[in-house]
Structure 1
Amino acid sequence: MNKLRWAMDGGFWDLDRSTPRTLEGEGRAVPGEPLPLGVSRGTRLSRPKQIDFFQRFMFAPFIPSYCASSHGFSLQRVLALPFTQNWFATLLAQFNLQKFVSSFKKNGALQSSRLENIRKHLEDKSLYALGFCSELLLSPCDTLLLSLDFYGDDNNKKPRKKAIFHHKFPNHDLNVEAVWPGLYIDKAGNYWDVPFSMAIDLASLSSDSGASYHFCMHHSAGQPMQLGGDETVEVPATLLPGISLKSAFSLKKNIEIWRSNAQKLKMVQPFDIFLSNPHISASGVIGAAVMACFGDNSVRPQVVHESQQFEGLCLRAPAVKSTLLVDAFSSVSFTAQHGNFQRLLLDLTRFHARLDFPSGSKFLSGAARLAQDFCNSQQPTMETVQAICPKATVSFQQQIAGPFSFRVDSGVEIDWKNKDWHMCVDDPVFAIEYALHVLGSAKAVAWYSPKHREFMVELRFFET
């Protein structure tokens, strides 16, 4: 699932998404329309390092996960391989507990010896998955990660390989990544395997306010394959073979409406230092993006009706399979927090809402059509109203007791098929968070997605 962040990071940058379907615990979101902006990555520890932390400091011998569309309920454990101070290597093992129990119940009565039956079931290779991960600190600014995952079940016969090089410039981050095959997740929850995917990503460091820019070159090869689900679903155009160059420039402004000056409890450390100040704030982002595609990924779905033709500058050259897209985007967010997260009960209530306008040209075209309909005393069409409606996301967090808090993140959509245009939630994610206050701002997060029917336990740092 999308990272459970308050920050405005998911509207325009295609971040990795947490999912228990792979050993590494992540898949990439299918680049959205109209301007996918690459492979920006959220700050996080690798999956083996997360599990190693749980085992060492939280006394959790096994980490559970659940994926209804793949392996069901499984347990994971990591073995750290001590090499050098600059080289962290791990072996991650996964055991499919749900498949083992169901198989044992089904065939257990046929065996005379229960221990012999257990031994035979444990010898089934389809119950296991094994991953090797190596993180090498080449210099204080350079990191190289290599991973290789093997799966015993029939749904994942091909091993997954990944190589990532990360370099920290004074004011930029550079990521070079190659994965084969790469796992992608579309909005409907379908999983896609791309045989080979490579990306070079350069982004300026994020700041509270000011200008930022982003550049990405992405190359994919091979025909994408869907993993289960509805086989009649069309392959997303942005996953087809080809090369894409993407660039964006944006301006961000934060406004602090109110901040509490009340004194905090003395000699009591907040459970999370980033959630210890009651306040009300707002922020806005406006920017422009350019994308050039060369290859099969330059193909875009044909517009069904002229009223749906809301695009920015779009130049196509079908003879050479190339497309140029230019558009603007903007976003507005609002955050309100009550409580210092110091007391044992109900000392944190936090609400966040974000409105994304991913296509400025689509919004302006829809607004112009809407004004024209009003001037002509005509009823606006559903497509016109839909064009000016932003993508809305809301988050709510409430402390339960001590370091435990409940959180829900969800999109909000209008049911256009209903004449009354009722509001409905889209892809909600429910989570229980345990703040690790000894680390300042870190937490263990156990989340569940009803839409994807996935459950996962993760370790997060410095999320506000």
Structure 2
Amino acid sequence: MDVGRGRAVGAGRGDPGDDGGHGAPRPGGPPAAGALTGLPRHPPQAARLLPPLHGVPSGPHLLRHPRRPLRQPRPHPLHHGQLLPHHNITLQASWPGLFVDKKGAYWDVPLSLSADLASVGSSSGLSYHLLLQQNSGEPKCFGGDKTYDVPIALLPGLCAKAAISIKKSIDAWRKKEDKLKNVQPYDIFLSDSHVSLTGIVGAVASGYLGNCSRRVAIRDETQKSNAFRMLDERNKCAAFADLFASVTFTAQYGNFQRLFLDLTRASARFDITSGSLFLCGASRLAQDFFFSRRPDVETFCDICPDVTVSLQQQIVGPFSFRVESSVAIDPRSQDHFVRVDDPIFAIDWALKVLGSAKATAWYSPKHQEAMVELRFYEA
């Protein structure tokens, strides 16, 4: 159990009432667990270089840790060997809980409780994720504009979310030769040159009881889709369901054994955070082309995925440089159709003696935040 400040669960981009920042996947691996998220914990930059969570993508509807780069350490999961041998259970409690919204305002929630159950599967196959989140008390804003409205994700109430997904990983190329004999890699998870592709498709459903149910009534882009939504304002309850998908391309050259330049790794991830919105947009676009009509710019926006790219390069020995950033694609902007948004820079120190562990120091120029963390078993 993790007790303290800075826990958050809310809605992602496709989940109505999202007050959090833009998402960010983890470099060098399959898509991270995603979609039951909202406001990131403090500090807001502590998630982007975290490892994937058991095959659930980081689209906006999943159960996942907030999609912000390099955030503070995750709570320690509780492993139940006999009762649930292939699951991770995480219990969190914070009083008060500290959160930051996409405008940079900080919020204190008097009491925040959550219980998280995630299946632990292989690199391919079926996985699921369950989450219960309870917020109590009125959030208070500090360190920002006091005129900000309270983020919907932090309002009092009970939220239950469930996601199920199927993941498939394919190695287009993997080279195990040219390794130095009797020389342990600095990180055993980064010891093979390869080119791989990982795809995830799934569905997520959420239910709300209390003031937090207002998020389903928020008018946003998902209102144009066929996502299931139900709202009973009188009894303050609501339900929401949608599809999601994610594709990650990863390429690595080097075995991370030699002293210099023996690791170059790049990845690109494409998230479709609302499957119903994507299908509606794709259908309208197909009709426009079929009937020779000029496509609407908004239709292109509906089918544009969330994109995150990352690059890691060994500098010397166990030290490597890593940069990751989301890439915003906005057909409505004539000046900046594609722009780099919210880059994160990090230096990793691989702890060879532990097999796969590292100390990471990262910095966010946009948010002017930095942190040093210790990570275990990350790819």
What TM-score do you get using the length of structure 1 for normalisation?
Answer: 0.66
Are positions 1:166 and 2:78 aligned together?
yes
| 2:35 aligned to which of 5, 12, 15 | 12
Are residues 1:213 and 2:128 paired?
Answer: yes
1:324 and 2:236 are equivalent in the alignment: no
- 1:263 to partner: Cα distance: 2.9
Secondary structure in 2 matching 1:220: strand
Aligned-residue RMSD, C-alpha = 3.2
Alignment match of 1:313 (pick from 225, 228, 232): 228
Query: How far is the alpha carbon of 1:206 from its aligned partner?
Result: 3.8
Partners in 1 of 2:309 and 2:263 — Cα distance? 17
Q: 1:376 to 1:230 in 2, by over 3 A?
A: farther
Confirm or deny: 8 A CA contact 1:249 1:287 kept in the other structure: yes
Mapped partners of 1:34, 1:21: distance in 2: 17
**Correspondence list, 1:1-80, <5 A:** 5-7=27-29, 8-12=31-35, 14=37, 19=42, 35=61, 37=63
The structural deviation recorded for 1:460 is: 0.9
Q: Indicate if the aligned counterparts of 1:339 and 1:347 stay in contact, CA closer than 8 A.
A: yes
Asked if the contact 1:310/1:362 (under 8 Å) is kept, the reply is yes
Cα distance in 2 between the residues matched to 1:350 and 1:255: 17
CA distance in structure 1 between the partners assigned to 2:123 and 2:297 by the alignment: 37
Equivalences, count: 340
Instruction: Specify the SS of the correspondent of 1:366.
Output: helix
Amino acid at match of 1:166: L
Distance in 2, matches of 1:432 and 1:287, equals: 34
Counterpart for residue 303 of structure 1: 219
Shift in CA distance, 433/166, structure 1 to aligned 2, threshold 3 Å: same
Alignment check: 8 A CA contact 1:197 1:219 kept: yes
Contact 2:180 2:257 in 1 (8 A): yes
CA distance in 1, matches of 2:91, 2:176: 45
1:277 aligns with 2:197: no
Structure 2 regions of 5+ residues with no counterpart? 1-22, 48-57
The residue type equivalent to 2:155 in the other structure is L
Distance 2:38 2:264 in 1: 27
The letter for the 2-side match of 1:221 is: S
Q: Any idea what the Cα deviations from partners look like across 1:332-375, whole Å, max 9, x if unmatched?
A: 11110001111111111001111111111010111122223333
Structure 1 residues not aligned, in runs of 5+: 27-31, 51-144, 146-163
After superposition, the C-alpha distances for 1:245-274 in whole angstroms (9 at most, x for unaligned) are 111111111101111132311232211111
Q: Which amino acid aligns with 2:302?
A: A
Q: Residues 175 and 34 of structure 1: is their aligned pair in 2 closer, same or farther, counting only changes over 3 Å?
A: closer
Contact 1:293 1:323 in 2 (8 A): yes
| Distance in 2 separating the partners of 1:331 and 1:33 | 7
1:182 alignment partner AA: G
Q: Equivalents in 2 of 1:308, 1:17: separation in Å?
A: 24
Give deviations 1:122-166, integer Å, cap 9, x for gaps: xxxxxxxxxxxxxxxxxxxxxxx9xxxxxxxxxxxxxxxxxx883
Larger radius of gyration: 1
* Greater RCO (Cα-Cα under 8 Å, separation 6 or more): 2
CA distance in 2, matches of 1:329, 1:218: 21
Shift of 1:188: 4.1
Measured in 1, the distance between the counterparts of 2:36 and 2:169 equals: 19
| Counterpart contact for 1:38–1:246, Cα < 8 Å | no
| Preserved CA contact (<8 Å) 1:3 1:18 | no
**Structure 1 residues 334, 12: closer, same or farther in 2, change over 3 A?**
same
Alpha-carbon spacing, 1:327–1:20, altered in 2? closer, same or farther (3 Å): closer
Secondary structure (helix, strand or coil) at the match of 2:284 reads helix
1:364 matched to 2:279: yes
Normalised by the length of structure 2, the TM-score is 0.80
Give the partner amino acid of 2:63. Answer: L
Aligned-residue offset at 1:397: 0.2
Q: Is residue 2:224 matched to residue 1:198?
A: no
Aligned counterpart in structure 1 of residue 146 of structure 2, from 225, 228, 231:
231
Q: Is 1:385 aligned with 2:323?
A: no
Contact 1:2 1:16 in 2 (8 A): no
- Larger displacement relative to structure 2 (266-275 or 443-452): 266-275
Cross-structure match for 2:4? none
Query: CA–CA distance in 2 between the matches of 1:20 and 1:37?
Result: 20
Deviation at 1:186, TM superposition (A): 3.0
Q: Kindly state the Cα deviation for residue 231 of structure 1 after the two structures are TM-superposed.
A: 3.1
Residue type matched to 2:377 in 1?
F
Q: Equivalents in 2 of 1:339, 1:320: separation in Å? A: 58
Q: Say if 2:26 and 2:32, in contact at 8 Å, map to a contact too.
A: no
For the Cα contact (< 8 Å) 1:195–1:222, is it kept in 2?
yes
Shift of 1:411: 0.6
C-alpha distance in structure 1 between counterparts of 2:196 and 2:139, whole Å: 43
* Alignment pair present for 1:341 and 2:229: no
Other structure's SS at 1:320 match: coil
Q: Report the counterpart of residue 186 of structure 1 in structure 2.
A: 101
User: Cα–Cα, structure 1 residues 236 and 329, in superposed 2: closer, same or farther, change >3 Å?
Assistant: same
Contact 1:39–1:201 (8 Å) recurs in 2: no
Higher share in helix = 1
* Identical counterparts, % of pairs: 49
C-alpha distance 17-266 of structure 1, shift in aligned 2 (>3 A): farther
